[in-house]
Amino acid sequence: MLKGGAVWALGTMSGTSLDGVDAAMVLTDGERILEFGETRYRAYSPAERAVLRAALGRWPGEAAVAGAAEVVEAAHAELLAAFRGAEIVGFHGQTLAHEPGGRGTHQAGSGERLARALGLPVAWDFRSADVAAGGQGAPLAPFYHFACARRAGADRPVAFLNLGGVGNLTWVDPRQTAPEAPGACLAFDTGPANAPIDDLMQARLGQSHDEGGRLAAEGEVAETVLARFLDHAFFARMPPKSLDRDAFADLLTAVAGLSDADAAATLTAAAAAAVARGAAHFPTPVRQLLVTGGGRHNPVLMAMLEARTGIEAVPVEQVGLDGDMLEAQAFAYLAVRVARGLPTSGPSTTGVPACLGGGRVSRPEALALQP
């Protein structure tokens, strides 16, 4: 059993950009953030990234999945072993496929194996119960965003924008009593963010991403391609809603005839335009987009966000948060909520019919009794 009160939780995130594993400590009781702790990052090697890419879109038992799980588990065990003082681990795993309403959701990596390796309880499989209950299973950081807004002293609605492989928005009213309270949170995926840009850079130039948006800055946006992109049925759906990393894989085909610079500019504009469509769903306007994830390092994308949304876009560091580690911290926070039976998602964040506590906890002492 997890002791009462605040505990040091260690969370991890390996996102759809496939760059590596983030890990962060948070002192939390599952409701408040009392203190931020140590953070670390472990990059995937090119060989590891190739193994993971080969498994994208695949489901348990299919080719390449077992190899991907081994990479994920080994990388996490190596990184997390360097931390001291954690009382529980929140292990997200690596999303390979996500199809709510269809085959479900698939994150590679076993929390049981990680619990054995670390000798610590591990909360994991955060999304499956939500999807099984009819939710989207994503995004899962919104309840943590609510705690962050309170930690930052917000006294009016704010919006968090995560720009990872896929973009997602959380509108938060910190004046509500809890993240699961009606009117406290609205969250949803906006559309593709860094993933198509990264895939373009890898395919054409052998680079992992558009550093500083330099290539996009040299190009012109193909407005006809952008208009066709915004005609996608996803943008007509009301939130909550979520996406698989490759749901817009045809975007690369759409820019195939463009120069490298024009293609990069067009994909960057697509990410910003998707956010603008999403911001139209906010229950009340916000003054700022608090931006987290790798996309906040791209000044071209940040400028396009402001131009297309009409809202100031600022890195979350401006309110005392860590944009590189926010999602890892979220899974530390969620691990404590899972262990204590608190909700991790709700109707306005994933579309699940009622507030639900997802995830499961693997405890090393219980695993030791298994044959």
Q: Of 26, 128, 24, 35, nearest to 345 (Cα)?
A: 128
Q: How many helices and strands (H and E) does the chain possess?
A: 13, 13
Known binding site for ATP: residues?
A: 15-22
In this structure, the number of other CB atoms found within 10 A of the CB of residue 248 comes to 21
Give yes or no for a contact between 86 and 10, defined as CB atoms under 8 angstroms apart: yes
What distance in Å separates the CA atoms of residue 154 and residue 219, rounded to the nearest whole number? Answer: 38
For the record, the structure tokens of 335 come out as 């691990």
Burial class (CB in 10 A: 0-12, 13-18, 19+), 101: exposed
**Which residues are annotated as part of the binding site?**
15-22
Q: How far is CA 13 from CA 119, 255, 363, in A?
A: 20, 30, 20
Q: At what angle do helices 111-118 and 65-80 cross, to 10 degrees?
A: 30
Q: Confirm if 214 and 266 have CB atoms less than 8 A apart.
A: no
- Please check whether residue 189 is in contact with residue 232, taking contact to mean a CB–CB distance below 8 angstroms: no
- Nearest CA to 105 out of 278, 293, 274, 352 is that of 352
Q: How far apart are CA 14 and CA 95, in angstroms?
A: 8
Please say whether the beta carbons of 191 and 248 come within 8 A: yes
Cα–Cα distance measured from residue 244 to residue 123, given in angstroms and rounded to the nearest whole number: 23
Q: Is-contact 331 317, C-beta < 8 A?
A: no
Distance CA 143, CA 5 (A): 19
Give the separation between CA 316 and CA 152, rounded to whole angstroms.
Answer: 10
Q: Which element (helix H / strand E) includes 224?
A: helix 223-230
Q: Tokens 């065990």 label which residue?
A: 77
